[in-house]
Structure formats: C-alpha cells, structure tokens
C-alpha cells in the first residue's frame, strides 16, 4: 500500500520545470515507491529502470544514445548509485 508523501507536489512542480529531478534520502524510506507513484501523474509516458538489475543497468552502457532515444519519455533511474559515472556523459 502506498503512503502519500508531502514531497509529491513539490517533485511534480520541479519535474514540470527542470529536465532532471533527484529524490534522495536514507535507505528504506520510500523513494522508489514515491518515484513509481509520481510516474503515473506525469504528463509524459515514463520508463522505469532499476539499476540493481544487471540487464537494466546494461541499457545505459551507451547512456547518451539510450537517453536520446527516450527523450519523449520521463526516464526514472532507480538506484543510480550503481552507475556513479553516469552523469559524466552530461558534462560539457
């Protein structure tokens, strides 16, 4: 059962304005549940990728290409700590 969180509306507002929004916090507080719940409220289709799963992590072996192919979707990257170098592809 999903437990509503105070941050929901703020995250939705931020997602409407910014190209990326991070949800951070300690383990086991509901970040994944919150992200999955919010995905259903976003204006664009969403794609959820769990980076704990090796096959899903492999999808980002060519991260720039993969994300470009999914630019019309909201891409939710769960457990992003599993790919610490991921954000290097966005540095100019």
Domain boundaries, the chain: 7-90
- In the chain, DSSP finds a helix count (H) and a strand count (E) of 4, 2
What's this model's pTM, rounded to 2 decimal places? 0.84
Of the pLDDT bands very low, low, confident and very high (cuts 50, 70, 90), residue 92 is low
Q: What is the pLDDT of residue 20?
A: 84
3-26 pLDDT, tens digit per residue, is 999 999 999 999 888 888 999 999
Give the C-alpha separation, 21 to 80, whole Å: 12
């Amino acid at each position: 059962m999903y437990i509503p969180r105070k941050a929901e509306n703020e995250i939705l507002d931020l997602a409407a304005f910014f190209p990326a929004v991070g949800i951070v916090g300690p383990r086991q507080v509901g970040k994944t549940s919150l992200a999955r719940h919010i995905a259903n409220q976003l204006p664009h289709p969403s794609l959820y990728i769990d980076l704990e799963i090796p096959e899903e992590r492999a999808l980002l072996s060519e991260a720039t290409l993969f994300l470009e192919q999914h630019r019309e979707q909201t891409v939710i990257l769960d457990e992003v700590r599993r790919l610490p170098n991921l954000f290097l592809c966005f540095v100019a």
